[in-house]
Amino acid sequence: MIPVFKNEPFTDFSVPENKKKMLEAIEKLEKELGKEIPLIIGGKEVYKEEKLKSINPSNKDEVVCVFQKATSEDAQKALDSAWKAFEEWRFFPPEERANILLKAAEIARKRKFELSATMVMEVGKNWAEADADVAETIDYFEFYGREMLRYAEKQPLTPFPGEINEYFYIPLGVGVVIPPWNFPLAILSGMSSAAIVTGNCIILKPSSDSPLTGYRLVEIMKEAGLPDGVLNFLTGPGSSVGDYLVGHPKTRFIAFTGSKEVGCHIYELAAKVQEGQIWLKRVIAEMGGKDSIVVDDECILDDAVQGVLASAFGYQGQKCSACSRAIVHEKVYDEFVSKLKEKIEKIKIGPAKENHFMGPVINASAEKKILEYIEIGKKEGKLLTGGEKAEGNGFYIKPTTFYDVDPKARISQEEIFGPVLAIIKAKNFDHGIEIANNTIYGLTGSVYTLNREKIYKAKKLFHCGNLYINRKCTGALVDVHPFGGFNMSGTDSKAGGRDYLLLFLQGKSISEKIR
Ligand code: NAD
């Protein structure tokens, strides 16, 4: 009997033993930096002439790993071996598939510090952020394993005289999994494990900013006993190998998480029926956000300040759920602004391995884009904090806040994906909700108010997939806060929720006449 699902606890790094283990894991990884990782096609390691490098964003001179630049030929081979593996994998008993995920959870738990260290070095997460990413990964394995067993149960039907009727779920086929770098283990593993446990085979194409972290899933799944060909691993530019796979007539589904721009491109490309294609591709696309926290005059202001700070600058604002707009009631506006400024000025920035509150942004092009938005912000609002790069040999940007920003300004509307916050003044609570709903996105949101009427109103009117009340708008937990947004934030799927596996399944209805 499998025990009920429980979220993986976070590591307490104030415990000396845990701190020591984390330092050791980082030190060990530092000795292995620059190691080469292969493509995995049909269970075989493949090395290419052309290589790419993943860089430590905390220290530009450090190569984290060398990875292969796959070609469309490799993509074709990966598709062929995935379809070959599918012939057996789809008939594996659901219990066996679920067991592989449960084993994967156990392996990830044992390798926790190593997995966290990989993200500290490859994507600049501080220890707690990296640890939360590993915990979420374990949660996906545990939860989707159990969910598969639920979907495999006998499905209820209305009895009909003279017939034996059945309804059950079967997998879709071969799909492409395209995750982002910002939750390089959790989102990558969540999408992959959901696709696999439901009996599909996949080609996983990690982000070029986090291939080593992505490769950790390959290692874990191999150790857990996943058959060859079920999970193929292809690294290389999204625009070449990604387009080839998305557009291919033999691709049955695409599970994507990333920006609105790439998501819309994939959605469009996948919609075109290619010669020889015998299905309409299913696209699960989770995209960006422009998330707001509405601060009412009837709230505990210190809590609101703390919630905005954590949501806006945790992991350098590089979360789809990050708060990038604080919409504050005019009665408490000045006090909120001065309290927030005081707190932001105390934020420490530095290399992720030293575990500061803030580390670097992911790469040079993100740094450039964020700095350009900061220049736009200087024209659109009044600079409260930051506004420039921070010291160091990485991509460091100071936590930047603008106040008196117009709700329609570019920095109020466009996803910046960095440590940049716009503060907007609202006339009252209703006006605050109206502003919160004025973007093309609808991912997360939060309100700080003690007034029950207003809470009720927010529940009805604040149009976002994940609404929080009197708490920060980041940090969704698997099966506690099923995660995914409305409008241009995606296809309304809910990762870590009970509807999620259905996205990778199709229902088969069978009716037999009783003779
Ligand atoms: P991105 O869109 O640049 O890239 C995402 C993935 O798509 C990467 O693996 C990339 O290599 C690949 N890709 C790029 N071009 C492609 C193409 N033409 N065909 C196929 N694949 C292609 O996003 P990112 O910078 O990795 O991640 C940040 C974005 O992800 C932000 O917009 C953030 O809001 C969003 N995000 C959303 C969620 C969510 O749950 N809604 C979660 C995390 C991140």
The per-residue pLDDT for range 344-393, each reduced to its tens digit, is: 999 999 999 999 999 999 999 999 999 999 999 999 999 999 999 999 99
Q: Is 232 in the pocket of ligand 1 (CB under 6 A)?
A: no
Phi, psi values for residue 470, rounded to 5°: 55, 35
Atom of ligand 1 lying closest to residue 259 CA:
32
Mean pLDDT (the chain, rounded): 98
Q: From atom 12 of ligand 1, which residue's Cα is the shortest distance away?
A: 238
Cβ–ligand 1 distance for 238 under 6 Å, the answer: yes
Per-residue pLDDT band for 32 (boundaries 50, 70, 90) equals very high
pTM strictly above 0.95 = yes
Per-residue model confidence (pLDDT) at position 108:
98
Helix (H) or strand (E) holding 510: strand 505-513
**Tokens standing for residue 209:** 């900013």
**pLDDT mean over 450-468:** 98
CA gap 359, 182 in Å, rounded: 13
- 291-477 has the same fold as 39-46+71-287+493-510: no
- Give the tokens for residue 16: 């000396």
Q: What is the pLDDT of residue 187?
A: 98
Average pLDDT value for residue range 23-41 = 97
**Which residue do the tokens 């003690």 mark?**
450
How much distance in Å is there from the Cα of 507 to the middle of ligand 1? 30
Q: Write out pLDDT tens, residues 130-173.
A: 999 999 999 999 999 999 999 999 999 999 999 999 999 999 99
Q: Is the pLDDT of residue 240 over 90?
A: no
Q: For the chain, first and last CA: distance in Å?
A: 39
CB 163 within 8 A of CB 212: no
Q: What is the mean pLDDT of residues 203-211?
A: 98
Give domain 291-477's CATH superfamily. Aldehyde Dehydrogenase; Chain A, domain 2 (3.40.309.10)
d(CA 204, CA 194): 13
> Could you confirm whether 320 is annotated as catalytic?
yes
361 HSE (CA, 13 A, CB side): 27
Contact between residue 318 and residue 418 where contact means Cβ atoms under 8 Å apart: yes
Q: How confident is the model at residue 256 (pLDDT cuts 50, 70, 90)?
A: very high
Question: For residue 238, what pLDDT band results from cuts at 50, 70 and 90?
Answer: confident
Helix (H), strand (E) counts: the chain: 15, 19
Which CATH topology does 39-46+71-287+493-510 take? Aldehyde Dehydrogenase; Chain A, domain 1 (3.40.605)
Confidence bin at 239 (pLDDT 50/70/90): confident
Instruction: Give nearest CA residue, ligand 1 atom 22.
Output: 238
The rounded distance, in Å, linking the Cα atoms of 392 and 395 is 8
Domain range annotation of the chain: 39-46+71-287+493-510, 291-477
pLDDT in tens, 308-343: 999 999 999 999 999 999 999 999 999 999 999 999
65 given a catalytic annotation: no
C-alpha count within 13 angstroms, C-beta hemisphere, residue 266 = 32
469 has pLDDT over 90: yes
Instruction: Check residue 319 and report its DSSP letter.
Output: S
Q: Where are the beta strands (DSSP E) in 205-278?
A: 231-233, 253-257
DSSP bridge partners of 490: 286
In 348-403 the beta strands, taken as DSSP E runs, fall at 382-385, 400-403
Q: Which H or E run includes 109? A: helix 94-110
Ligand 1 atom nearest to 362, measured from its CA: 25
Ligand 1 pocket residue status of 320, Cβ below 6 Å: yes
Closest CA to 305 of 274, 352, 340: 340
Q: Report the alpha-carbon distance of residue 431 to residue 444 in Å, rounded.
A: 18
- CA distance to 90, 168, 462, per residue, from 165 (Å): 22, 10, 43
